[in-house]
Structure 1
Amino acid sequence: MTEALLKYFRTKEQEVKSEKKYDSQCPYCSMQCKMQLIEQSIVTRKKYTTIGKDNPTSEGRLCIKGMNAHQHAFHKERLKFPLLKVNGEFVRVSWVEALEYIKENFTKIQKESGHNALAVYGSASITNEEAYLLGKFARVALKTKYIDYNGRLCMSAAASAASQTFGLDRGFTNSLSEIPSTKCIILAGTNIAECQPTIMPYFERAKENGAYIIAIDPRETATTKLADLHLKPKPGTDAVLANGLLKVIIEENYVDETFLQERVNGFDDVRDYVGSLSLDEMEEITGVPITLIRKAALRFGKEETGMIFTARGVEQHTNGSMTVRNFLNILVTTGKVGKPGCGYGAITGQGNGQGAREHGQKADQLPGYRSIENEEHRKYLAGVWGVHHKDIPRKGVSAYEMMEKIHEGEIKGLFLMCSNPIVSNPNARFVKEAIKKLTFFVAVDLFVSETARLADVILPASSYLEDEGTMTNVEGRVTLREASYPCPGEVKHDWQILCEIARVLGKEEYFSFTTAEEIFTELRLASRGGNADYFGITYERLRKEGGILWPCPDPDHKGTKRVFETSFAHSDGKAAMVVVPNSPVIPKEQLSDEYPLYLTTGRVMSHYLTGVQTRKSPSLAARNVEPFMEIHPATAVKYQIQNQSLVKIESRRGSVVVRSKWSETIRHDTIFVPFHWADSQNINLLVSKELDPACKMPGFKVSAVKVSPVNDFLN
């Protein structure tokens, strides 16, 4: 090395004044990869690097989003103090002023219109402690029945299907470590390669070990390329495809008779129904050839071990719950659950999609997966909270239905925490109109999101680097997110904000927490004896063990790696199968001469949900600067759509303009658009308000649309 180079490196070493390390977890998907931020102070600037840390789930891996997550946390537009809207403009105010203003307006609304005139809208990205506290805040501090959260738009179909079939929803019935040992895998409507990239090595190891992988998706994706067999059903016909698989499995006698007799109810009805169906008819409905239906069914049926994974592709439908139940029918019929290498996995979307729904944010649930309508459950929680059980409100309505209540004027005030409903909800124009009608609106967020723009007060929240707490990842593993980076400006943690508002409302005795760990201690007690029992989990254990799979009923319990080994969670210990009819043909929204194409939506790797955080990361925003419409070239030619040109997409609800992207791997009757963009390019403007009757999931994956080229002068 030359003397000049040595001098250069010595100079650089001297410039580095200090190096600090901060442990945390990725704020994005449900893998909840553990990470460490390295901060180097160099003369006049700071340099940041994020590295992965070893853990039982992602084994030290990070994807492109995780490696660049810190960029949004340090973005110049980060909120650092409370804002109050005055004459249409946001101005800085003190916390004292903001809290007093909230108190005055919340009190006035409830005095004039009753407790239920206020609503709370939560998030599946906040910690377990904050999800728990938000539910308690709604029911104890505000005494309103109206609370729900954005996870309703993500995991509700899978959660309801698992609860109805198994009596319990833990997302994964097994741990991820069992995937490499299974011999046949069905990936139904999941693009894990782009949505949960760090989970992919488990499936790659399975393939290396000889597993046969079947992918179900109308598009070819980075995930379907891993598959040995790719089925491309028409959007919304996955339940019918599952009936076809069931028919072949049963008729070819790949059923586990002993398992069915001892541990299952309802099989006879399902067998009789699918026996009456015609494979020719199912081929016509789904667009999947009989030969491929038979090939998939026989392969899954004959293998000794097998697992089924579902995600938004088969869940975000107005029949999403029943569709997942039909895939669980396949699993139960073949006896492939509760055994090594056999089970079900709901690929959770949001970072805390599992834990956030377990502890009280859903309209009908109390902590520990208890029912708000069950008297014993109500009495137990009342004892934990120190209130009378009759004072706990009854169940409210789902997230989108709350927007309808706002539009109708029944709900007049809204407290929104870390969500962006005017972008994420279906029928988005209607949702924006509803929120504009509110008498008073408080938003808690990192940034002034599209929804927060409409707020009267915005309170600044802490980021994943600053906010300590537990998260429950995709496999049901409770992890402790260590987060010690100092909050910027006057930022507070979500749980602190809830405690502060409760204090000014005169409810301090129920919200006198000073640390996240204190909240978790109460959460443990609140969940004790419930389906989602966290009582045996402590911060000390989580630090020592790196994460614990629930249920974990006592401190000596090691956690549950595999559920349903000896019985299911229904009172009789059996799984419940159900007939899922082909008719009426799903989807409800049919194609027509005017709207001849299916629109389906989804994600791209570089963005997350409504993009509020990822668009603040230059490294991520640069990868996808705008949305696009994926369309088959033959379809594009038919409608005079040039590649990389602007195109207008119209449904019965409205229209958006995006850029076209030709793809020979998508169905001719289907277009795909990612949902991460807002305002005039918000694809959810085109999605129907129709909801799944069981779980209230919107039908994001099927909308009837037409496409047309935009005039050249706009290109």
Structure 2
Amino acid sequence: MIMQQAVETQCPFCSVQCKMTVQQIGEQHDNGDQRRAMFDVQGAPNAASEGRVCVKGMNAHQHSEHSQRLLSPMIRVNGELTPCSWDEALACISQKFTAISEQYGHDAIGAYGGGSLTNETAYLLGKFARVALGSKYIDYNGRFCMSAAASAGSKTFGMDRGLTFRLADIPLAGCIILAGTNIAECQPTLLPYFNQAKQNGAKIIVIDPRKTATAAIADLHLPIRPGSDTLLADAMLKIMMDAELVDDGFIQSRTNGYDELKLYISGINLEEAATSCGIDLELIREAALAFGHADTGMILTARGVEQQTDGHLAVRHFINIVLATGKIGRDGCGYGAVTGQGNGQGGREHGQKADQLPGYRSIENEEDRAYVASVWGVEPSSIPGKGVSAYEMMELVHQGEIKSLFVMGSNPIVSNPNAHLVEEGLQKLHFLVVADMFMSETARLAHLVLPVTSYMENEGTLTNLEGRVLLREAGRPPLGEARHDWMILCSIAGLLGKEQYFKYNSPEEIFDELRLASKGGIADYYGITYERLRKEGGVYWPCVSLDDFGSGLLFRDSFAHTDGKAVFSVIESSGWNGVSEQYPLILTNGRVLYHYLTGVQTRRSPSLAARELENFVEIHPRTAQRYRIQDGEWVEVESPHGRFIVRSRVKEHIREDTLFVPMHWGGIQNVNRATRPDLDPFCKMPGFKTSAVRIRPIRLQ
């Protein structure tokens, strides 16, 4: 059946959330009787991407149409996953969850979510875990995306939102520092903003151990040694302080802790810092002076800075630069964390994190608990306390404390560090339920797999990287027996005897409850409605009333702490230097343009999969020569925690001491088989970007 009308939707992938139209325009024959639908995809006008769509968004419909879509529940019988009815699947869940809870307690069941779920589903999953399951154990894969920046923003500003400025402000900046972010491949539809800034005279500085496509547009590229970002930020600030390029008036009126910061920074030895960072001191000086002299400026960080065991401090020390120079709260200025996942921002605001309740409230605050309990119609004492972070949940699974796990919109066997331990743990579970569109690596281990709808079918709101809430309409009915994720949660809750708390007939009804639950919180959505989103195309939060237009540019007059001031960080970080004679190289990871997260969806898009069929490791020519590795041959990369096998790509644009491997593949090609399990003490972010490894070619004898 050909879709006569173009479906208005938005890309399911990165945090820009580009709007687009998708229309089936015909069919073509493949391999005899096989027919494949043909689609026309066009970018739609919107304030974020301005009508642009990248190659992933242009081809997203291919995974939605893929023949491997799960179209009925699958239950494990005699070791094999076989189709079953929804009645059988839901009855199985009810029986298993009830039995495990009665035998081992409510906390024996955990819920594990994802940063691509809509706000409605993320909100409902948090409520489901705490009300229907009665468990404190819930977290989500966004812990691996934004937790360092989120905790840093909360401590520094009193609130966390991806960008403190509007995307439209980027061309107004006189100097932009992009630290550990590869915009050109991860959020390519944003690149024109930075090109426009360059045309306006801005100086762009990129900090990255690789000369990425983003670094190629930079005026300065600082090829940092992974693990030394905090020290680099301190060195740059010392240079600015010594040159008297700080804003004393802003510091005195808008911040706390500057005297302590001055004392701390005075102890930085610039020569030693440059050596530790692996960057020429004059290059650091040039970058620091450029930012210090600019009238307006921005610093943006992403996973390169944040996915480290001192990621929280690294972000806070880059924010120190923003505060000391007074470059925040005005046009063309600010700090921004470039969110990775499609709803990485909204997904962490409304209850998926172990320590949070809707509206960015704290689960450990009695007033917050009482307010949310009143919205839910439960006693505050019935809401469980704080659980643990995503990887720590996997450790509890491995230890046997968590007996059953409900996974929705995530693939933890691939995305977690120390992947071998995670796989072992999931295999020990008494009962694993996975809700997904495809048979992911995690789903293959499940006792029960539930088919969910795709972005083309599932209505709901998502919040992009600049804090703009957007409504994604449903363009077509569900395929096969697939069900909306929010409907699945309501059905299970009903069978567990909690139906009265989960009586919803549409995502809009869930959102209206979310609005009320967030009212008065840091992430206040109360003034946002579906009607407004349809009419206005998107609304910034915080939005406290129906006549509030939301806040695009934050902190014009004050910060979100009770005294209105931001707080400098003076906590020293030891960084990371874990290489040794046995493991002499640094392994870092990241994304490539054509894939997203663990590749479950993008590898089902033939147009995307064909561009990157398999994983690889980038290695510098001199390093490759030292280890007798030829371009394109299979190599084994090994750390003290595990090993994986990929093909080599010999490239000059990476540091000699560093290897880069994408994160999108599972199995033997999974980079996280070698990732260390250490966590940031402040936010529990794993150290994805720094693992000590060795490498060798694999050749048949």
Matches within 5 A, 1:395-474: 395-474=386-465
**Mapped pair 1:311 → 2:302:** yes
Deviates more, 1:117-126 or 1:287-296: 287-296
Q: Which amino acid aligns with 2:463?
A: T
Contact 1:63–1:198, Cα closer than 8 Å, also in 2 = yes
Partner of 1:522: 513
Q: 1:639 aligns with which of 624, 627, 637?
A: 627
| Residue aligned with 1:544, SS | helix
| Residue aligned with 2:368, SS | helix
| Residue aligned with 1:121, SS | strand
| 1:542 CA drift (Å) | 0.5
Matches within 5 A, 1:619-634: 619-634=607-622
Contact 1:27–1:351, Cα closer than 8 Å, also in 2 = yes
Q: Which amino acid aligns with 1:38?
A: Q
Matches within 5 A, 1:562-577: 562-577=553-568
**Mapped pair 1:532 → 2:523:** yes
Q: Take 1:42 and 1:126, find their aligned partners in 2: how far apart are those partners? A: 31
Deviates more, 1:146-155 or 1:657-666: 657-666
Partner of 1:211: 202
| Residue aligned with 2:572, SS | coil
Q: 1:52 aligns with which of 38, 43, 56?
A: 43
Q: Take 2:3 and 2:407, find their aligned partners in 1: how far apart are those partners? A: 39
Give the TM-score of the pair, scaled to structure 1.
Answer: 0.96
| 1:46 CA drift (Å) | 3.5
| 1:35 CA drift (Å) | 1.0
CA deviations on 1:300-319 (whole Å, 9 max, x unpaired) are 01111000000000000000
Q: 2:13 aligns with which of 15, 28, 34?
A: 28
| 1:407 CA drift (Å) | 1.1
Q: Which amino acid aligns with 2:20?
A: M
Q: Take 1:251 and 1:267, find their aligned partners in 2: how far apart are those partners? A: 15
Give the TM-score of the pair, scaled to structure 2.
Answer: 0.98
CA RMSD of aligned residues (A): 1.1
Q: Which amino acid aligns with 2:622?
A: A
Q: Take 1:477 and 1:615, find their aligned partners in 2: how far apart are those partners? A: 29
Structure 1: gaps of 5 or more residues: 1-15
**Mapped pair 1:361 → 2:370:** no
Alignment CA distance shift 1:211-1:17 (3 Å): closer
Contact 1:323–1:580, Cα closer than 8 Å, also in 2 = no
Q: Which amino acid aligns with 1:121?
A: Y
Q: Take 1:156 and 1:449, find their aligned partners in 2: how far apart are those partners? A: 25
Q: Take 2:591 and 2:172, find their aligned partners in 1: how far apart are those partners? A: 29
Q: 2:674 aligns with which of 662, 669, 686?
A: 686
Q: Which amino acid aligns with 1:650?
A: E
Q: 1:661 aligns with which of 645, 649, 654?
A: 649
Partner of 1:105: 96
Q: Which amino acid aligns with 1:627?
A: N
Q: Take 1:55 and 1:76, find their aligned partners in 2: how far apart are those partners? A: 32
Q: Take 1:339 and 1:41, find their aligned partners in 2: how far apart are those partners? A: 50
Q: Take 1:654 and 1:413, find their aligned partners in 2: how far apart are those partners? A: 26
Q: Which amino acid aligns with 1:620?
A: L
Q: Take 1:53 and 1:578, find their aligned partners in 2: how far apart are those partners? A: 42
| 1:435 CA drift (Å) | 0.6
**Mapped pair 1:171 → 2:162:** yes
Q: Take 1:146 and 1:568, find their aligned partners in 2: how far apart are those partners? A: 32
Deviates more, 1:276-285 or 1:473-482: 276-285
| Residue aligned with 1:647, SS | strand
CA deviations on 1:300-340 (whole Å, 9 max, x unpaired) are 01111000000000000000000000000000000111111
| Residue aligned with 2:552, SS | coil
Alignment CA distance shift 1:17-1:683 (3 Å): closer
Contact 2:3–2:23, Cα closer than 8 Å, also in 1 = no
Matches within 5 A, 1:263-412: 263-412=254-403
CA deviations on 1:462-507 (whole Å, 9 max, x unpaired) are 0000000000001110000012211111110000000000111111
Q: Take 2:207 and 2:37, find their aligned partners in 1: how far apart are those partners? A: 46
**Mapped pair 1:578 → 2:579:** no
Partner of 1:253: 244
Partner of 2:32: none
Contact 2:466–2:552, Cα closer than 8 Å, also in 1 = no
Deviates more, 1:349-358 or 1:559-568: 559-568
| 1:23 CA drift (Å) | 1.3
Contact 1:603–1:675, Cα closer than 8 Å, also in 2 = yes
| Identity rate, percent | 59
Partner of 1:604: 592
Q: Which amino acid aligns with 2:86?
A: W
| 1:536 CA drift (Å) | 0.4
| Residue aligned with 1:272, SS | helix
Contact 2:2–2:24, Cα closer than 8 Å, also in 1 = no
Q: Take 2:228 and 2:37, find their aligned partners in 1: how far apart are those partners? A: 52
Partner of 1:7: none
Contact 1:30–1:349, Cα closer than 8 Å, also in 2 = yes
| Residue aligned with 2:5, SS | strand
Q: Take 1:374 and 1:490, find their aligned partners in 2: how far apart are those partners? A: 41
| 1:152 CA drift (Å) | 0.2
**Mapped pair 1:593 → 2:581:** yes
Matches within 5 A, 1:29-178: 29-41=14-26, 46-178=37-169
**Mapped pair 1:561 → 2:552:** yes
Partner of 1:677: 665
Q: Which consecutive segments of 4 or more residues in structure 1 shift more than 6 A?
A: none
Contact 1:427–1:687, Cα closer than 8 Å, also in 2 = yes
| 1:530 CA drift (Å) | 0.4
Structure 2: gaps of 5 or more residues: 29-34
Alignment CA distance shift 1:45-1:599 (3 Å): closer
| Residue aligned with 1:234, SS | coil
| Residue aligned with 1:569, SS | coil
Q: Which amino acid aligns with 2:292?
A: G
| Residue aligned with 1:50, SS | strand
Contact 2:467–2:552, Cα closer than 8 Å, also in 1 = no
Q: Take 2:18 and 2:27, find their aligned partners in 1: how far apart are those partners? A: 28
Q: Take 1:190 and 1:678, find their aligned partners in 2: how far apart are those partners? A: 23
Partner of 2:692: 704
Contact 1:687–1:700, Cα closer than 8 Å, also in 2 = yes
Q: Take 1:407 and 1:590, find their aligned partners in 2: how far apart are those partners? A: 26
Q: Which amino acid aligns with 1:676?
A: H
**Mapped pair 1:231 → 2:228:** no
| 1:17 CA drift (Å) | 7.3
| 1:246 CA drift (Å) | 0.8
Q: Which amino acid aligns with 1:471?
A: L
Q: Take 2:642 and 2:473, find their aligned partners in 1: how far apart are those partners? A: 44
| 1:45 CA drift (Å) | 6.1
| 1:687 CA drift (Å) | 0.4
Q: Take 2:152 and 2:331, find their aligned partners in 1: how far apart are those partners? A: 22
Alignment CA distance shift 1:490-1:596 (3 Å): same
Contact 1:118–1:413, Cα closer than 8 Å, also in 2 = yes
Q: Take 1:107 and 1:607, find their aligned partners in 2: how far apart are those partners? A: 39
Partner of 2:183: 192
| Residue aligned with 1:400, SS | helix
| 1:21 CA drift (Å) | 1.6
| 1:571 CA drift (Å) | 1.2
Q: Which amino acid aligns with 1:706?
A: R
| 1:580 CA drift (Å) | 3.7
CA deviations on 1:502-548 (whole Å, 9 max, x unpaired) are 11111111000010000000000000000000000011110111101
| 1:163 CA drift (Å) | 0.6
